[in-house]
Amino acid sequence: MKGPATAAAETSAEAQGDVSVDVEAAADLAASPEMRLWLRLSACAVLIGARLRSRLRDEFSTTQPRFDLLCLLDRQPEGLTMGELSKRMMVTNGNVTGIVERLSADGLVTRAAASNDRRMQFVRITPEGSALAQAIAAAQRRWLAELMEGMPHGDVVQLMGLLGKLKNTVRGGGVRG
């Protein structure tokens, strides 16, 4: 059964021609401020992520995980092991293997066995991979600026500060830990 806030949000969205009501809009108005904040953060992350993924696909024919891996390697020109990449990307070794294989086939990274342990593979970015990572990073900065151009700069700076406090609070486990 839908609560009054959910029904009102859906009715309002339908009246505006938006049938894709997000989770925040459907939240119960009686929800705690913490719950509403979490839902708003989630909605913003989903909206921004979808726009960035779409632009990556349309303008660079690539995906966010491929770009993330290229960026990691671009900051570590000596290379990283497959295990290190997996940890830093917070994905399984199998995911990293698939991404590295495709990037290698495209000439954007190379793989080589470590000299001290042939079972361990180092992945390094190629000059072409580095150029692509830097081009995408510049494009993402532009895309984000476009997405947020309706927000005054001072609001962006203030929001960064507040989210930094939230991040530190959450990282510390809150007061109760």
Other beta carbons within 10 angstroms of residue 132's beta carbon come to: 21
130 domain residue, yes or no: yes
Average of per-residue pLDDT across 107-124: 87
Q: What mean pLDDT is predicted for residues 129-150? A: 97
135 in a structural domain? yes
Q: Are residues 70 and 132 in the same domain?
A: yes
User: Which residue range forms the structural domain that includes residue 15?
Assistant: 1-61
Q: Please determine, for residue 100, whether its predicted confidence score (pLDDT) is greater than 70.
A: yes
User: Cα(23)–Cα(40) distance, rounded to whole angstroms?
Assistant: 8
Q: Check whether 14 has a pLDDT greater than 50.
A: no
Tell me whether residue 164 is in a domain.
Answer: no
Is 136 contained in some domain?
Answer: yes
> Does 177 fall in a domain?
no
Q: DSSP letters of 45-66?
A: HHHHHHHHHHHHHHHHS--HHH
Each residue of 23-77: pLDDT tens digit?
Answer: 666 667 667 889 889 999 999 999 999 999 999 999 999 999 999 999 999 999 8
**φ, ψ for residue 123 (rounded to 5)?**
-115, 130
Choose the final residue of a domain: 61, 90, 108: 61
Count of structural domains, the chain: 2
Check which CATH number belongs to the domain holding 88 and give it.
Answer: 1.10.10.10
- On whether both 50 and 106 belong to a single domain, the answer is no
Residue 27: the pLDDT is: 64
Whether 57 and 103 share a structural domain:
no
The DSSP secondary-structure symbol of 114 reads: -
Quick one: 54 and 71 in the same domain? no
Position 9 pLDDT exceeds 50: no
125 — phi, psi (to 5°)?
Answer: -85, 145
